């Protein structure tokens, strides 16, 4: 599973770069083994692995990050991804069983949501995708919504108002 994840995230490197996001991996293997493995991944998946992967031979980081689950597999960490903002605040944690690969598309979707939330102080609804409507801040009055967005916003209730933001 790991090989497909490395390939998937490497394939999405331009998408991460466009969002000013640094991808960083963690592995229980020595760097030399990782470099050979990355060469295999590059050959098998026709992709260049450009992001760094940290060596965690003793599993200290995996343990510290809560990746060891006795009910899953004590010898193998679960798959865990963190989105950390420039202020080093953890914004999102994804956890996957060891046999379920991560999704670069979902990771990018969440990054897009976090970035639009930070820029516009809005919220994103379930299954939100870039270009779709966002939710206005809870408690924003109709007057404030009109002052901010003109007539382009939609009211479903006093507590649920939407607007489509320009790209």
Contact 54, 48 (CB under 8 A): no
Written as six digits, the tokens of 13 are 């490197």
Q: Which of 2, 8, 92, 117 is catalytic?
A: 2
Any idea of the CA torsion for 81, 20, 40, 93, to the nearest 10 degrees?
0
CA proximity to 63, closest of 54, 52, 53, 74: 74
2 is catalytic: yes
Task: Output the furthest CA–CA distance in the chain (Å, rounded).
Answer: 61
Distance, CA of 37 to CA of 3 (rounded, Å): 8
E strand intervals along the chain: 25-27, 53-55, 79-84, 90-96, 134-135, 153-157, 160-163
Q: What is the set of active-site residues?
A: 2
């Amino acid at each position: 599973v790991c090989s497909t994840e490395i390939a998937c995230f490497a394939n999405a490197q331009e998408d991460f770069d466009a969002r000013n996001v640094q991808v960083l991996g963690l592995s229980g293997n020595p760097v030399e083994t990782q470099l050979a493995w990355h060469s295999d991944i590059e050959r098998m998946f026709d992709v260049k692995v450009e992001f760094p992967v940290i060596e965690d031979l003793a599993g200290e980081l995996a343990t510290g990050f809560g990746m060891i689950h006795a009910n899953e597999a004590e010898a193998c960490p679960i798959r865990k991804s963190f989105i950390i903002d420039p202020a080093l605040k953890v914004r999102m944690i994804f956890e996957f069983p060891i046999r379920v690969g991560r999704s670069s598309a979902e990771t990018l979707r969440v990054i897009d949501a976090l970035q639009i939330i930070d820029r516009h102080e809005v919220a994103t609804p379930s299954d939100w995708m870039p270009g779709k409507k966002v939710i206005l801040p809870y408690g924003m009055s109709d007057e404030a919504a009109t002052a901010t967005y003109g007539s382009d916003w939609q009211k479903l209730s006093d507590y649920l108002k939407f607007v489509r933001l320009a790209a």
